[in-house]
């Protein structure tokens, strides 16, 4: 399985980095001493023969005042010549606000979150904001810690992505941290459930799952196995409620409902348990796509064919699905768009707590053929 490369190694030339010479700007000697940390606005002003105020206005175009054509040109020229780079930290201090938003995710390697991150990054870019990424690794402690760190950085806004837990203790702690952050002038938005008292972008999990259940029923499925995720996970629970509710009104009872982590590995492990508890299931629905994918792989590893022996469905419509075979039936969520939407919500200075809701769309694919 893992043969070493028994090949004439043309590879691995280690040090062809000799081009790091003569990269100095060909514009003549830089002003200050060697090893300088760069020119300051004061240097620029002096070089241009104007006051710092004028230099500042010329470079950053202050709201009110406008600088005369001639001086402006001189300032800009001097700035360029000196490789002047405004110090964002100093600007932040003087202006009393930064140009940074924080993005807190559970796991940036999860396609769900990286899609959201894409949306946030795009929106932030439009607003000329930098985004500080915080990866909690699913640890609520770290989530808390990151809120504090972001507060210390005076990030203008924080976007928290990821469903909340039904854990009043943890929620209370986070709520308090966010409240402190807000009392310090920050603003917050959440992508998940509105249980933190902040603006929220939420997906219609219940409705989407319900719609999916309806479709599966219509396709003729009657024996359901459900990978429900963690009991306390609100997203998981909402989806489960929506799905199970429809089954129930149709007089169908799931063969088994298995709880597990909300992750790919959680799905993989849960499938084995599901089969133990209910060997004769027709279709497995997992409350999110990564779990469904893990479960599908688990089923295959156990010798089952998909969808021949077992059909599968998920939720989210992560990008990964484009290349999965058979294509996975799911509920499409506009993930990047949700990240995009959350950004202005988070930046909202009115202090108003707003809610945005996006709906999911059932997408039937080959993993759930008509029975």
Partner DNA sequence: CTGTTAGCGCCTTCAC
Partner DNA sequence: GTGAAGGCGCTAACAG
Q: Interacting stretch for a second copy, rule CB under 8 A, among 19-27, 58-66, 71-79, 253-261?
A: 19-27
Structure token pair of residue 208 = 């989407």
Q: Interacting stretch for DNA, rule CB under 7 A, among 18-26, 86-94, 253-261, 338-346?
A: 86-94
Rounded Cα distance, 283 and 247, in Å: 13
Q: Interacting stretch for a second copy, rule CB under 8 A, among 67-75, 102-110, 278-286, 342-350?
A: 102-110
Q: Choose which of 24, 33, 303, 349 interacts with a second copy (CB under 8 A).
A: 24
Q: Choose which of 169, 322, 350, 370 interacts with a second copy (CB under 8 A).
A: 322
Q: Choose which of 80, 93, 232, 371 interacts with DNA (CB under 7 A).
A: 93
Structure token pair of residue 360 = 């999911």
Q: Give Cβ neighbours of residue 132 (< 8 Å, ≥ 6 apart).
A: 100, 101, 102, 103, 150, 153, 155
Q: Choose which of 166, 167, 204, 337 interacts with a second copy (CB under 8 A).
A: 204
Find which of a second copy, DNA, none residue 149 binds, CB within 5 to 8 Å per kind. Answer: a second copy
The answer to the question of residue 4 lying near a second copy (CB under 8 A) is yes
Site for DNA in 33-62 (CB under 7 A): 37, 40-42, 49-54, 56-57, 59-60, 62
Rounded Cα distance, 133 and 159, in Å: 10
Structure token pair of residue 302 = 């156990």
Q: Choose which of 31, 52, 76, 86 interacts with a second copy (CB under 8 A).
A: 86
Rounded Cα distance, 289 and 267, in Å: 9
Site for a second copy in 269-298 (CB under 8 A): 293-294, 296-297
Find which of a second copy, DNA, none residue 71 binds, CB within 5 to 8 Å per kind. Answer: DNA
Residue 121 Rama label (left phi>0; alpha psi -120 to 50; beta): alpha
Cβ closest to DNA, residue 152 vs residue 323? 152
Q: Choose which of 192, 208, 229, 307 interacts with a second copy (CB under 8 A).
A: 208
The answer to the question of residue 66 lying near DNA (CB under 7 A) is yes
The answer to the question of residue 126 lying near a second copy (CB under 8 A) is no
Q: What ranges in the chain are assigned the alpha helix state H?
A: 41-48, 52-60, 69-81, 88-95, 111-126, 140-152, 168-183, 205-218, 234-249, 264-277, 289-301, 335-347
Q: How far is the CB of 367 from DNA (least distance, A)?
A: 55
Secondary structure (DSSP) of 281-340: -SEEEESSHHHHHHHHHHHHHTT--TTTT-EEE-SB--GGGGG-SSPPBEEE--HHHHHH
**What is the CB neighbour count within 10 angstroms for residue 317?**
25
The answer to the question of residue 90 lying near DNA (CB under 7 A) is yes
The answer to the question of residue 19 lying near a second copy (CB under 8 A) is yes
Cβ closest to a second copy, residue 23 vs residue 303? 23
Find which of a second copy, DNA, none residue 34 binds, CB within 5 to 8 Å per kind. Answer: none
Q: How far is the CB of 351 from DNA (least distance, A)?
A: 19
Distances from the Cα of 70 to the Cα of 4, 45, 50, 73, 356, angstroms: 67, 14, 11, 5, 49
The answer to the question of residue 170 lying near a second copy (CB under 8 A) is no
Separation of CA 317 from chain center: 15
Cβ closest to a second copy, residue 68 vs residue 249? 249
Q: Given the structure tokens 């409620």, which residue do they identify?
A: 241
**What is the CB neighbour count within 10 angstroms for residue 352?**
8
Site for a second copy in 224-263 (CB under 8 A): 238, 241-242, 245-246, 249
Rounded Cα distance, 150 and 24, in Å: 36
> For binding to DNA (CB under 7 A), which residues are involved?
37, 40-42, 49-54, 56-57, 59-60, 62-63, 65-68, 70-72, 84, 86-87, 90-91, 93-96
């Amino acid at each position: 399985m893992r043969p070493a490369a028994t090949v004439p190694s043309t590879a691995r030339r280690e040090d062809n980095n000799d081009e790091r010479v003569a990269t100095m700007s060909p514009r003549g000697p830089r002003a200050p001493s060697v090893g300088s940390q760069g020119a300051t606005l004061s240097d620029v002003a002096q070089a241009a023969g104007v006051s710092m105020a004028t230099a500042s206005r010329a470079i950053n175009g202050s709201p009110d005042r406008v600088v005369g054509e001639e001086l402006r040109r001189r300032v800009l020229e001097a700035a360029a010549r000196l490789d002047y780079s405004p110090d964002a930290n100093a600007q932040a201090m003087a202006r009393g606000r930064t140009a940074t938003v924080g993005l807190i995710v559970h796991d940036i390697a999860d396609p769900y979150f990286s899609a959201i991150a894409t949306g946030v990054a795009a929106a932030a870019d439009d607003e000329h904001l930098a985004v500080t990424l915080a990866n909690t690794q699913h640890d609520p402690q770290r989530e808390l810690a990151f809120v504090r760190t972001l507060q210390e950085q005076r990030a203008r806004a924080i976007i928290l992505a990821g469903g909340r837990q039904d854990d009043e203790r943890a929620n209370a702690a986070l709520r308090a941290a966010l409240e402190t952050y807000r009392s310090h002038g920050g603003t917050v938005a959440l992508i998940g459930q509105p249980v933190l008292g902040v603006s929220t972008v939420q997906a219609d999990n219940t409705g989407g799952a319900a719609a999916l259940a309806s479709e599966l029923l219509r396709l003729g499925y009657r024996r359901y196995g459900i990978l429900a995720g963690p009991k306390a996970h609100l997203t998981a629970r909402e989806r489960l409620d929506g799905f199970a509710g429809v089954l129930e009104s149709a007089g169908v009872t799931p063969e088994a409902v298995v709880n597990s982590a909300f992750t790919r590995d959680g799905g993989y492990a849960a499938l084995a348990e599901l089969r133990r508890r209910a060997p004769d299931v027709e279709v497995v629905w997992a409350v999110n796509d990564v779990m469904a994918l893990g479960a599908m792989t688990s089923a295959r590893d156990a010798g089952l064919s998909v969808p021949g022996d077992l059909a599968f469905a998920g939720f989210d419509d992560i990008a990964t699905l484009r290349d999965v075979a058979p294509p996975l039936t799911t509920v499409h969520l506009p993930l990047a768009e949700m990240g995009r939407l959350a950004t202005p919500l988070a930046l909202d200075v009115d202090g108003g707590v707003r809610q945005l809701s996006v709906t999911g769309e059932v997408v039937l694919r080959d993993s759930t053929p008509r029975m």
